[in-house]
């Protein structure tokens, strides 16, 4: 930090009552020649990234993007996304991540709801840019490319505190309209630190993400990398073959995946490289048979449980615990508190199933435009996740399912994830989802939606289930489809499947 920086900081702190100054993480690395981003096989050093970000920030400032402004960003071009993310932070603006897989209606609603004056798009989203600007005449919708400015600019990042909002990410929520979760710089710092303490971190790490950057897990990879000073390896489209080829080149140390991707790599008997230290498996409860196959083959898979409102990870297994704690998402990250609450609002005893509630420095500051920020979470500061699970007697978290996905059949609880794990352990099943169908006698009964191999035989699968599950958990119907619907993060879209019944 230069003396100029110090003076500005002092002045800023004197004026500010909101909290603790954050030195810009990228700015601190601006002289370093080490790898910051590898984008489509092109290396970008921290020096180059910081120079591009400074130029972009100056460019946007000249065009009137102002501190505190919410700027909607619709991009899948990884390097452009990273430049934009950091440039908006240099300006002290708030980035609003628009999910590129949303319908036009949904995009228009979010841009409008968040009261953005500016929308930044990459070239791949030109059609949406035009359509949104036709619908929202007051929004300046600009097409951006990596190469836009003329010449290098100097730009000192706007001062921010840990409590300042960095981004808004809309989450689908359990009911009604999506809500914009407010993620702060403090959420990012706490999350990066807690992840490093759980998984380890080396200055030479290269983290490959198959997650879209506009999801919480994708953005978190970029933010962590500038906090650590490590490299993020980005690919524009999630192309499974390209992703796999990059992973297998041998220099990747960390990778974030969802179960479906990992399942296919295991099916294809991919040889994972020795340098790969952590395969971070998120996006929902993982089938135990998949985890067991990974462990047997020495794949360094660690299960994690995360959500948008906690800026990704809530609990993650330690790499050393993988084989002794199969099926658990691990202990909560350091400084994150987890409790399990039953239907009467009481804490459950160990192994008792209830709603997972969390509290800690990674939990978002609230939702956009909720009157009382904290009450949007819960009056006592605990965030109610809507997910069901339990803590064992040693404090390890087991996530069963989304509460809304719970099937209650004749008074018995059926956790779809448990039934799905049995289905997925059968060799003829590629993908499986279990959902509840209304039933006059039992209230609900479980139904399976499957993608299968040619060898599939329904009665064989039914026998397989009957051997492994209580009768009320065995699906009453098997619906075979080509491919299960998933969102951009690879999560099953059960809402959509329920419409099929």
Query: Which residues are near a copy of itself by CB under 8 A?
Result: 1-3, 5-7, 9, 20-21, 23, 25, 28, 31-32, 34, 193, 196-197, 199-204, 227-229, 318-321, 331-332, 334-335, 337-339, 347-350, 391, 393-395
Least distance from C-beta 461 to a copy of itself, angstroms?
38
Least distance from C-beta 331 to a copy of itself, angstroms?
7
- The alpha carbon of 151 is separated from its chain's Cα centroid by a whole number of angstroms, namely 35
Least distance from C-beta 144 to a copy of itself, angstroms?
30
Q: Which helix (H) or strand (E) holds 497?
A: helix 494-500
Q: Which is nearer to a copy of itself, 354 or 416 (CB)?
A: 354
The answer to whether the CB of 252 falls within 8 A of the CB of 221 is no
Q: Which is nearer to a copy of itself, 50 or 181 (CB)?
A: 50
Distance from C-alpha of 78 to C-alpha of 235, rounded to nearest angstrom: 6
Burial class (CB within 10 angstroms; exposed 0-12, middle 13-18, buried 19+) of 364: buried
Question: How does DSSP assign 404-450, residue by residue?
Answer: GG-EEETTEEE-HHHHHHHHHTSTTEEEEEEEEEEETTTEEEEEEEE
Q: Give CA separation, 349 vs 80, 332, 385, 395, in Å.
A: 48, 17, 19, 11
Side-chain-side CA neighbours of residue 89 (13 Å): 29
Least distance from C-beta 163 to a copy of itself, angstroms?
14
Q: Which is nearer to a copy of itself, 196 or 326 (CB)?
A: 196
Least distance from C-beta 435 to a copy of itself, angstroms?
32
Q: Which is nearer to a copy of itself, 111 or 254 (CB)?
A: 254
Distance from C-alpha of 352 to C-alpha of 346, rounded to nearest angstrom: 11
Question: How does DSSP assign 363-378, residue by residue?
Answer: S-S-BTT-SSHHHHH-
Least distance from C-beta 379 to a copy of itself, angstroms?
14
Least distance from C-beta 3 to a copy of itself, angstroms?
5
Q: Which is nearer to a copy of itself, 203 or 343 (CB)?
A: 203
Distance from C-alpha of 77 to C-alpha of 126, rounded to nearest angstrom: 13
Least distance from C-beta 433 to a copy of itself, angstroms?
32
Q: Which is nearer to a copy of itself, 336 or 409 (CB)?
A: 336
**In 3-state terms, what secondary structure has residue 387?**
strand
Q: Which is nearer to a copy of itself, 28 or 488 (CB)?
A: 28
Q: Which is nearer to a copy of itself, 176 or 343 (CB)?
A: 343
Q: Which is nearer to a copy of itself, 377 or 421 (CB)?
A: 377
Neighbouring residues of 283: CB distance < 8 A, sequence distance ≥ 6: 217, 258, 259, 489, 490, 491
Q: Which is nearer to a copy of itself, 20 or 62 (CB)?
A: 20
Least distance from C-beta 26 to a copy of itself, angstroms?
13
Distance from C-alpha of 324 to C-alpha of 425, rounded to nearest angstrom: 20
Report the DSSP pairing between strands 206-209 and 254-258. parallel
Q: Which is nearer to a copy of itself, 12 or 109 (CB)?
A: 12
Least distance from C-beta 49 to a copy of itself, angstroms?
16
The DSSP call for residue 403 is: G
Q: Which helix (H) or strand (E) holds 185?
A: helix 185-199
Report the DSSP pairing between strands 337-341 and 354-359. antiparallel
The answer to whether the CB of 250 falls within 8 A of the CB of 256 is no
The answer to whether the CB of 301 falls within 8 A of the CB of 262 is yes
Least distance from C-beta 6 to a copy of itself, angstroms?
5
């Amino acid at each position: 930090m230069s003396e100029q920086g110090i003076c500005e900081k002092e002045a800023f702190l004197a004026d500010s009552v909101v909290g603790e100054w954050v030195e810009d993480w990228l700015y601190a690395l601006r002289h370093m020649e080490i790898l910051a981003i590898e984008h489509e096989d092109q290396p970008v050093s921290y020096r180059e990234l910081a120079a591009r970000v400074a130029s972009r920030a100056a460019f946007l400032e000249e065009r009137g993007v102002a501190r505190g402004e919410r700027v909607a960003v619709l991009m899948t071009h990884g390097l452009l996304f990273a430049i934009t993310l950091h440039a908006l932070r240099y300006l002290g603006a708030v980035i609003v991540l628009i999910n590129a897989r949303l319908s036009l209606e949904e995009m228009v609603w979010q841009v409008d709801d968040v009261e953005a004056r500016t929308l930044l798009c990459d070239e791949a989203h030109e059609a949406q840019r035009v359509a949104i600007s036709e619908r929202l005449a007051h929004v300046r919708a600009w097409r951006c490319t990596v190469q836009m400015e003329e010449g290098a600019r100097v730009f000192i990042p706007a001062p921010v505190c840990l409590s300042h909002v960095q981004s808004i990410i809309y989450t689908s929520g359990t009911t009604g309209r999506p809500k914009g979760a407010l993620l702060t710089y403090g959420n990012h710092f706490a999350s990066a630190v807690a992840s490093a303490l759980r998984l380890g971190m080396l200055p030479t790490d290269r983290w490959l993400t198959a997650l879209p950057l506009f999801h919480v897990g994708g953005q978190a990879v970029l933010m962590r990398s500038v906090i650590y000073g490590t490299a993020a390896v980005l690919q524009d489209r999630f192309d499974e073959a390209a992703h796999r080829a990059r992973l297998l080149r041998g220099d990747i140390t960390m990778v974030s995946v969802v179960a479906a991707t990992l399942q296919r790599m295991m099916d294809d008997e991919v040889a994972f490289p020795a340098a790969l230290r952590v395969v971070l498996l998120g996006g929902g409860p993982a089938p135990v048979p998949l985890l067991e196959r990974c462990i047997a083959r020495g794949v360094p898979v660690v299960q994690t449980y995360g959500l948008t409102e906690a800026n990704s990870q809530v609990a993650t297994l330690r790499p050393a615990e993988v084989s002794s704690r199969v099926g658990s998402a691990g202990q909560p990250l350091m400084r994150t508190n987890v409790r399990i609450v039953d239907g009467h609002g009481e804490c459950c005893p160990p192994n008792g199933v209830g709603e997972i509630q969390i509290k800690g420095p990674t939990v978002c500051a609230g939702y956009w435009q909720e009157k009382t920020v904290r009450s949007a979470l819960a009056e006592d500061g605990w965030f109610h996740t809507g997910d069901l699970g339990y803590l064992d007697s040693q404090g390890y978290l087991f996530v069963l399912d989304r509460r809304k996905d719970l099937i209650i059949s004749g008074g018995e609880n059926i956790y779809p994830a448990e039934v799905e794990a049995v289905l997925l352990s059968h060799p003829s099943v590629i993908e499986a989802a279990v959902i509840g169908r209304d039933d006059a006698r039992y209230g609900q009964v479980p139904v399976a939606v499957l993608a299968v191999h040619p060898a599939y035989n329904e009665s064989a699968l039914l026998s397989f289930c009957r051997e492994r599950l209580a009768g009320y958990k065995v699906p009453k119907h098997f619906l075979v489809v080509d491919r299960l619907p998933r969102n951009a993060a690879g999560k099953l879209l059960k809402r959509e499947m329920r419409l099929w019944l």
